[in-house]
């Protein structure tokens, strides 16, 4: 029986978001209101020529019970999808705790989310997942990291990873891309995924990569180096950071040292594989600097 490793953070967020509807209302002078509308564009279209208004957002929230039912349905669908392909599975669910070692690498990690208005029932759904689905909360790393370590402990033929998070594709093995389908990541493909991420960064987590390089561009650039293995990929990544620095300068790139900038990004995007002896994992090191 395979173990089904479910990244529950995204499922809780999706269910909580689905349990509410956000609308846009326009406030005009003398206490007049326009709306509600589904989008700001619809509000703008409703304004008469020369009129103006101050838009603000309203939120229509469903009940907690309805939100929990939405989460249960999403999680059951993942389990059924795994069973259809792999037979009986043993689900293990993980949610991220508040403490994250990556903030010691960069205090601004995920800082772009600080002012984000989160779905109303998000914290309650996380509690529901732990109470009713036995989801486990991580301590000093993220749910992604716990899944990466559990995958290493279980062995490649004994697990399936279920997540919408592309970061977990750094982990070789069978994956369920939630809402899409099944995917198998080879060792080579997983390694390529990681080094492309080092080049591209991840702006959803406030991680800067190499200036003017997106994921597709990173893949195209690194593909010729894959046969040289991990050392060739790392060397190519640093060279690209240096080329960007030489071309655009430190003001745009926001770094002065190519090796240091690439290392910084790698330490943020790397998904843990080996369980550390203590609460803090060792930082990722380039293949050229590891002990043999």
Judgement on whether residues 123 and 244 belong to the same structural domain of the protein:
no
Choosing from 164, 185, 206, the residue where a domain stops is 185
Identify whether residues 174 and 211 lie together within a single domain: no
Strands (E), 84-200: 89-95, 136-137, 159-163, 173-177, 181-185
For the record, the structure tokens of 13 come out as 């967020």
CB atoms within 10 A of CB 239: 14
Contact 248, 212 (CB under 8 A): yes
Q: Splitting the chain (292 residues) into consecutive groups of 10 residues, what average pLDDT does each group show?
A: 97 93 74 72 74 72 91 97 96 95 90 75 96 96 97 95 94 95 96 97 90 94 96 97 95 94 96 92 91 62
Q: Which two tokens stand for residue 158?
A: 């004994």
110 and 180 assigned to the same domain:
yes
Q: Is residue 55 part of a domain?
A: no
Instruction: Return the pLDDT at 157.
Output: 92
Number of domains in the chain: 2
| 11 and 141 co-located in one domain | yes
Given this model, what pLDDT does residue 113 score?
65
Q: Report the number of secondary-structure helices (H) and strands (E) in the chain.
A: 11, 9
Contact (CB, 8 A) for 148 and 95 = no
Q: Is residue 35 part of a domain?
A: no
Q: Which CATH number is 72's domain given?
A: 3.40.50.1010
Q: Which of 121, 155, 185 is at the close of a domain?
A: 185
Give the pLDDT confidence score for residue 112 in this predicted structure. Answer: 66
Structure tokens at 116: 């984000």
Both 261 and 137 in a single domain?
A: no
What is the spatial distance between Cα 103 and Cα 153, in angstroms, rounded to a whole number?
Answer: 26
pLDDT at 30: 66
pTM for this structure?
A: 0.88
User: Tell me, what's the pLDDT at 215?
Assistant: 92
213 in the same domain as 151: no
Whether residue 176 is contained in a domain is answered as yes
- Domain hosting residue 205, numbered range: 186-292
């Amino acid at each position: 029986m395979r173990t089904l490793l479910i990244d529950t953070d995204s499922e809780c967020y999706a269910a909580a978001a689905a349990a509410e509807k956000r609308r846009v209302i326009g406030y005009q002078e003398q206490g007049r209101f326009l709306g509600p509308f589904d989008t700001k564009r619809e509000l703008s279209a409703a304004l008469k020529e020369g009129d103006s208004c101050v838009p603000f957002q309203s939120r229509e929230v469903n009940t907690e019970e309805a939100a929990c039912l939405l989460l249960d349905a999403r999680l059951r669908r993942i389990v059924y999808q795994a069973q259809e392909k792999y037979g009986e599975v043993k689900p293990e669910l993980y949610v991220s705790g508040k403490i994250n070692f990556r903030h010691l690498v960069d205090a601004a990690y995920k800082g772009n989310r600080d002012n984000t208005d989160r779905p109303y029932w998000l914290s309650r759904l996380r509690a529901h997942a732990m109470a009713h689905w036995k989801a486990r909360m991580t301590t000093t790393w993220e749910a992604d990291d716990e899944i990466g370590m559990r995958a290493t402990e279980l062995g490649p033929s004994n697990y399936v990873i279920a997540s919408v998070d592309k970061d977990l594709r750094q982990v070789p093995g069978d994956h369920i891309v939630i809402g899409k389908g099944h995917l198998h990541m080879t060792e080579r493909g997983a390694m390529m995924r990681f080094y492309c991420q080092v080049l591209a960064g991840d702006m959803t987590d406030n991680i800067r990569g190499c200036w003017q390089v997106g994921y597709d561009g990173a893949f195209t650039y690194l593909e010729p180096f894959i046969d040289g293995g991990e050392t060739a990929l790392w060397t190519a990544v640093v060279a690209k950071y240096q080329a960007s620095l030489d071309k655009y300068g430190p003001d745009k790139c926001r770094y002065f040292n190519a090796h240091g900038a690439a290392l910084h990004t790698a330490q943020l995007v790397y998904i843990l594989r080996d369980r550390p002896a203590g609460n803090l994992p060792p930082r990722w090191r380039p293949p050229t600097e590891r002990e043999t």
